[in-house]
Amino acid sequence: MLPALNEVSKSQANPTQATLDECQQLLDYANTYQNVSVRYRASAMILNVETDAAYLVLPKAKSRLAGYYYMGYNRQAQTTRSVNGAILVECKTIGHVVASAAEAETAGSVP
């Protein structure tokens, strides 16, 4: 839902019918999935971080970054991978123009 909220917030100054349609779709999604919960499980308390960036996907040569921070098991000690609930989920627009995809990835790895 964070990318959708981000897109709607960017178009609030000059709303169009498409903005209204995006808001309606977001509200429909929230209404459909009302009983969402986060489940935490015991683990070896290892922080896992997965980040990604999308280069030049927004208007005015802007990029987007996302990060998913969660507690998980030690991958060397466990044969199965189990993921706990998210500690932090980040999705935002990089405020400045980056010169390359590598630079967008670097901007995305900083919390």
Is the pLDDT at 9 greater than 70? The verdict is yes
pTM of the model: 0.47
Q: What is the pLDDT of residues 24-70, one digit of tens each?
A: 999 999 999 888 887 776 655 678 888 777 777 677 767 777 788 88
Give me 7's structure tokens: 């897109």
Closest by CA position to 64, among listed 74, 53, 79: 53
Query: Angle 46-51-52 (CA atoms, 0-180°, nearest 5)?
Result: 160
Sketch the domain layout of the chain as residue ranges.
1-36, 38-111
Is the pLDDT at 99 greater than 70? The verdict is no
- pLDDT score of 76: 67
Q: What is the pLDDT of residues 71-93, one digit of tens each?
A: 776 666 655 666 677 788 878 77
Confirm if 4 and 26 have CB atoms less than 8 A apart. Answer: yes
Phi-psi region of 59 (alpha: psi -120 to 50; beta: other; left: phi over 0): beta
Confirm if 84 and 70 have CB atoms less than 8 A apart. Answer: yes
Q: Could you tell me the pLDDT band of residue 19, with boundaries at 50, 70 and 90?
A: confident
